[in-house]
Amino acid sequence: MTAFVAWRDDRPRPCLASWARALAFLLCMSGVAGPPALAADLVPEVGRSVAVLLDQAKVVRLPDGVATLVVGNPLIADVTVQPGNMLVITGKGYGVTNLVAMDRAGGVLVESSIEVQGPRANLMVVYRGVERESYSCTPVCERRITLGDSAPYFTATINQTGILTNQAQGPQQQR
C-alpha cells in the first residue's frame, strides 16, 4: 500500500515589516514614541469577517450596548463574552457561519462572518488509500486529533488522550 504525505507549513518568515513593527513596539514600551497601548486596545473589533483556526480561539472587541449574541451554526464556532466587551471566538468545525450582535431593543449592532479554517503550521497529513491520519510536528511528529481523520485513527487517538487525562487527574475522591 502506498502512503501519501501532505505537509503544511505556513511559518512566518522575517521581513522588513516585522522588524519595523518590533522597533515600533520597543519604542512605545520605552515611552519614546508615546504611551504604551493597553492589551485591550490591540484587540481588533468584530467586523465583517473573522478567521479562526480549528481548535483555537481568537479575541475580538464587541461594540458597546450588546445584549444578545447569535451564532448561526454553533457546530462551526462558539463564542464566550468576557468583561470589557471582549468576545472569545473558538473554532469548533470547518466552514463559515455568522455572528449577530443585537442591542436590548433587538436592533442589529454588527453582523460578522466567522470562517473556521484547518490548522496549517507544523501539520503533516498521511493518506493510506482513503484513510487519513494527522500529525503535529513541533518538532517531533506526534498524533493529532483533527476533524476529517479516519474513524479508527481518530477513535484510537482520542481514547488514548482520555486515558492519559484520567491518569493525570489521579484517583477521583468519593463524596
In this predicted model, what pLDDT tens digit does every residue of 21-56 receive, in sequence order? 544 444 445 444 444 444 444 445 666 789 999 989
Does residue 121 have a pLDDT over 70?
A: yes
Backbone φ and ψ of 79, nearest 5°:
-130, 150
How far apart, in whole angstroms, are the C-alpha atoms of residue 92 and residue 164? 22
Query: How much is the CA Rg of the chain, to the nearest whole Å?
Result: 21
Q: Is residue 174 part of a domain?
A: no
Give percent above pLDDT 90 in the chain.
49
Q: Print the domain residue range for 68.
A: 44-118
Beta-ladder partners of 132: 127
User: What's the pLDDT at 75?
Assistant: 93
Q: What is the CATH number of the domain that holds 69?
A: 2.60.40.1080
CB distance 160 to 152 below 8 Å: no
113 in the same domain as 48? yes
Q: Are residues 128 and 152 in the same domain?
A: yes
Tell me, what DSSP letter sits at residue 40?
G
pLDDT in tens, 59-89: 999 989 999 999 999 999 999 999 999 999 9
Question: Are both 77 and 143 inside the same structural domain?
Answer: no
Tell me the three state secondary structure of residue 96: strand
What residue has cell string 480561539? 57
In a domain, 18, yes or no: no
Q: Domains in the chain: how many in total?
A: 2
